[in-house]
Structure 1
Amino acid sequence: MASADDDEMIYYGSVTFDTPIPLSAIADEHEALQVRPDLITLTYAGTGSGRSLVGIDTADQEDAWAWSNAWGSIHRTLEGLARRHGRVLQTNATFESDQRGRGILVVDEGNRLHDCQEGEDLQAHRVRACSCLSWEAPRVEATEHEQVSGPRAVPAGPFTDHVVICTEHGEVVCATSERGAYFHREAHIVGEHTASPLPLGPRPASEALPFGVRELIEDAAAELRRGRSYAPAGAVNHRDAAREYTRRAESELRAFDLGDTVAALLQFCVELRADFPQ
């Protein structure tokens, strides 16, 4: 996905697997997809212990706009499921973006999802002859770490992707270049396996927020940004919406057993992110 994190987007349509995937085999991914019912609805086949995930439908509502990184997370989860379970992705979705206008969602021959803007060549995206996956990772010096594998080449249709696996955290990244895989590997080692005296570890405090909480705070910040375009009286609805997102984030945060010190720091992070958006 070649979207800036501050690009607001909305998708219309569905993304499905050619063959449904049993829920019993995808507990973590299923949980990750369930955290954004405001954006997507999961579709299923079967019942009881034989229930399987067919795919997602986007929320049928005009206000289901979200930052592109939220959509990117959903799409990467679907791409990972397809790769690990030998499925093929299918989509009829379109999108609207505040920076890139309109377009359609395209599946390439290696099972990656691309945003194709109006007027662009669909085939270029299908064969990865586009700029979506052309990010050039900085060069890094590889670090020895027994828990985190080096990049492993995996077939992706006519392409070769590169997967890094952590014995503690599972798949770290599936990158389209070996250099990109090494970059994400080293970032994972620094972020998750480097000792630190801070209670939150070496990660920024905002990244330590549980995923669902962080998304709500991003939504609150978005509302406050929208409110800047209006006079104070006209921004009331946006401020109220931001407060509601923050209340929901605080409520979700209390459900996690994080310990008094960490919980207090994360509570402060919630309030700070909502009150002072970047």
Structure 2
Amino acid sequence: MASAEDDEMIYLGPVTFDEPIPVSAIPEEHGALQAASHVITIIYSGSGETRSLRGVDAVNEDDGWAWSAIWDTIHHTLETLARRHGRTLHTAATFASDGRGHGVLVVDAGNRLHDCQEDEDPEVHRTRTCSCYSWNPPSVEITEHERVPVPHAVPAGPFIDHIVTCADHGEVVCATSEHAAYFRREAHIVAEHTPRPLPLGPRPAAEALPARVLEQINEAAQELRRARGYDGGGAISYRDAARERTRRAEAELSESDLNDTVAALLQLCVELRAELSQ
């Protein structure tokens, strides 16, 4: 149901839990809601160490407008809290959007929040027969990774959600389809658990390059530094020397005992490191 990030929206009305959640048990999620205090009012019960989160409400009709991405974060946080702490969400909120007009906020039986436009039937969203989660992620080759188990199915009212958790990063995604969960799992493995051979700075590149290759690159960098002291044609000889050093580095690399994939990656390291060294 996420809308475009350039779409401004406002929600008026409460989204609450059937039973409050102790604030002391949810520091990260509570912080995320506090960061959005310019568009919502956080509703509490109790005080001090016994204070609990009851839900959120809009600030007011004038100040509650925000990018849809901010509202998506708020709703995702509430959904996550309900799932992890066994609560049920309730809402009587309405919304207005620059891009999608007006409507009501609907919570389905699996504690997902849906934007239901004024010409739609809310029951379609309550039963998840809507198109809110109908995106089709591209096919991926599933990579085994011991730190990120395969998705596991969890009951969500009459529905089944698919959760991916990571031993290092916690919950990665809670998706409505198994296919989407596998796609997000693969994306997480690539982003967070795959070694990056490409240099993120001089040191990673230096560690990846063979010593003879690195020596030539450093010599090329010295020639380029010498070239800075001359204007116009006076720098040509030093730049030519730097190019020759780079060609030698490439030749050394091609003679190294590396497979084609590693050689291609290190070839890029050579080029990038030469640029970084100028």
TM-score, reference length from structure 1: 0.69
Question: Per-residue displacement from partner, 1:95-153 (whole Å, max 9, x unpaired)?
Answer: 11111100000000111000000010010100001111111121111111111121100
- Give the match for residue 117 of structure 1: 117
- Give the match for residue 152 of structure 1: 152
| Superposition RMSD in Å | 1.2
Query: Offset at 1:194?
Result: 2.4
Correspondence 1:198 to 2:217: no
Partner SS state of residue 160, structure 2 = strand
**1:75, 1:109 → 2: CA distance?**
15
- Give the match for residue 88 of structure 2: 88
- Mapping of residues 14-163 of structure 1, within 5 Å: 14-163=14-163
Query: Offset at 1:61?
Result: 3.9
Q: What is the one-letter code of the residue matched to 2:148?
A: V
- Give the match for residue 252 of structure 1: none
Question: Per-residue displacement from partner, 1:182-241 (whole Å, max 9, x unpaired)?
Answer: 111111112222233326xxxxxxxxxxxxxxxxxxxxxxxxxxxxxxxxxxxxxxxxxx
**1:45, 1:64 → 2: CA distance?**
23
**2:174, 2:122 → 1: CA distance?**
23
Detail structure 1 runs of 4+ shifted over 6 Å in the superposition.
none
**2:2, 2:33 → 1: CA distance?**
21
Query: Offset at 1:67?
Result: 1.7
**2:74, 2:168 → 1: CA distance?**
22
* Greater radius of gyration (CA): 2
**1:150, 1:6 → 2: CA distance?**
34
Q: What is the one-letter code of the residue matched to 2:175?
A: A
8 Å CA contact 2:39–2:63 kept in 1: the answer is no
Q: What is the one-letter code of the residue matched to 1:50?
A: T
Question: Per-residue displacement from partner, 1:70-109 (whole Å, max 9, x unpaired)?
Answer: 1111101100100110000001111111111000000001
- Give the match for residue 257 of structure 2: none
Q: What is the one-letter code of the residue matched to 1:126?
A: R
Percent identity over paired residues: 66
Partner SS state of residue 24, structure 2 = helix
TM-score, reference length from structure 2: 0.69
Partner SS state of residue 154, structure 1 = strand
Partner SS state of residue 191, structure 1 = helix
Name stretches of at least 5 consecutive residues in structure 1 with no aligned partner.
200-278
Q: What is the one-letter code of the residue matched to 1:168?
A: D
